[in-house]
Amino acid sequence: MADKYGASIEPAADGHAGSGESCGASRRCAGRAAERNGLETAFAALDLGTNNCRMLVARPDSSADNGEFRVIDSFSRITRLGEGLSATGQLSKGAMDRTIEALKRCAEKMDRRQVAASRNVATEACRRAANCAEFLERVTAETGLQLEIISAHEEATLALKGCAALLDFTMPYAVIFDIGGGSTEVLFVEVAPDRSMSVRGCISLPMGVVTVAEDCGGGDLCARTYETVVARVQQLLESFEKTYGIGEKITAGVAQMIGTSGTVTTLGGLHMGLERYDRAMVDGITLDFETVHATSQALCGMTLQQRAAEPCIGWQRADLMLAGCAILEAICHLWPVGKLRVADRGLREGLLMDLIHPAMLRVAPGEMHMPSAHI
């Protein structure tokens, strides 16, 4: 099966989605031969977030020299590692147990696919948790994997690399955002026709779908709380807007927008009326802001049970959707591009590109902004 935006895809063994590891702290350099049984080298990329554990296993595409790869296995599971983190500052035992079970599956898949090198990264939940060292020790002892905690800036830059195939390189500027479980990263990027990219600025808000939902008392946000979240996110982004004059670029018609997050991809699936979420159909579609607003407001009018009954949402995401929609609406209000490209890709694909073609796609770093956030 072919991915229409870069990688060709072979069906995964279990139909799920997944990740990998890095040299030094977290790359598995196990001394495996570059090829086994006549097969090309396999690489893995593992992304452990506040809400999800996801992994991809891929091989280079020998017929291409532009960074393409074939996904041969994948894994995805909602583990809610960051459950309760906002209130306690700690990873709970239950959350750690759930996550370690998922990581065991990832390790098994890496071994079965004879992965030669991988990178396993953890993001906001591990960045914030006071007992993260204890968790990392358990992970290594119980799964054999070593997790690398990456900065918000590296997280955003890797997501940019993973989404590069969706950029319009005739458009000189781009706003790229990732609404995660524990944080939201926004990049302002300058792009060139030669496919080079320069990050002008990056901002990380410690507000994601899990943290906002928990801080606001659960997933059923009332209209007033929803608008409070929208206003707070806009407020936190205003200084970033003033620093880079993003609104002026939008007014001039020289800026595009890409969204990579479960919130955006779910809205894409809902808009398409899919009876079951299908990455191949959603990745790369364009949503206009009117659709984003209308779909978000329709979800606001549903009960938790009604949202859970939506095929592209389900019980595991039902209590997080409104928080994600509020963050998304704030971004759309502040930067009225009018439409956004939906990316069901990002950090894992960026990790794989760095592993498979480390010199292929270079991104000039920009300034990092880290505001504090309290709703």
Domain spans, the chain: 8-150, 153-348
Give the model's pLDDT for residue 373: 53
Greater confidence, 158 or 219? 158
Give the model's pLDDT for residue 107: 97
Give the model's pLDDT for residue 356: 85
pLDDT at 12 over 50: no
Give the model's pLDDT for residue 156: 86
The pTM score is 0.82
Q: Give the torsion sign (CA, 219, 344, 168, 341).
A: negative
Amino acid at 342: V
In CATH terms, the superfamily for domain 8-150 is ATPase, nucleotide binding domain (3.30.420.40)
Same fold, 8-150 and 153-348: yes
Give the model's pLDDT for residue 68: 75
Residue 20 in 3-state DSSP? strand
Q: What percent of the chain has pLDDT over 90?
A: 67
Question: How do residues 162-217 score in pLDDT, each as one tens digit?
Answer: 999 899 999 999 999 999 999 999 999 999 888 888 899 999 998 999 989 888 87
Give the model's pLDDT for residue 195: 83
As a CATH number, domain 153-348 is 3.30.420.150
Give the model's pLDDT for residue 202: 93
Q: What percent of the chain has pLDDT over 70?
A: 83
Per DSSP (E only), the strands in 206-270 are 255-259
Max intra-chain CA distance, the chain: 61
Give the model's pLDDT for residue 26: 38
Span 30-47, mean pLDDT?
62
What does pLDDT average to over the chain? Answer: 85
Question: How do residues 316-357 score in pLDDT, each as one tens digit?
Answer: 889 999 999 999 999 999 999 999 999 999 999 999 988 887
pLDDT at 38 over 70: no
Greater confidence, 20 or 310? 310
Q: Report residue 169 as tokens.
A: 């390189």
Lowest mean pLDDT among 169-178, 252-261, 366-375: 366-375
Residue 107 in 3-state DSSP? helix
Q: Could you give the CA distance from residue 340 to residue 358 in angstroms, rounded to a whole number?
A: 28
Q: Could you give the CA distance from residue 24 to residue 257 in angstroms, rounded to a whole number?
A: 35
pLDDT at 17 over 90: no
Span 95-103, mean pLDDT?
97
Question: How do residues 108-131 score in pLDDT, each as one tens digit?
Answer: 999 999 999 999 999 999 999 999
Question: How do residues 264-280 score in pLDDT, each as one tens digit?
Answer: 999 999 999 999 999 99
Give the model's pLDDT for residue 39: 47
Q: Could you give the CA distance from residue 251 to residue 253 in angstroms, rounded to a whole number?
A: 5
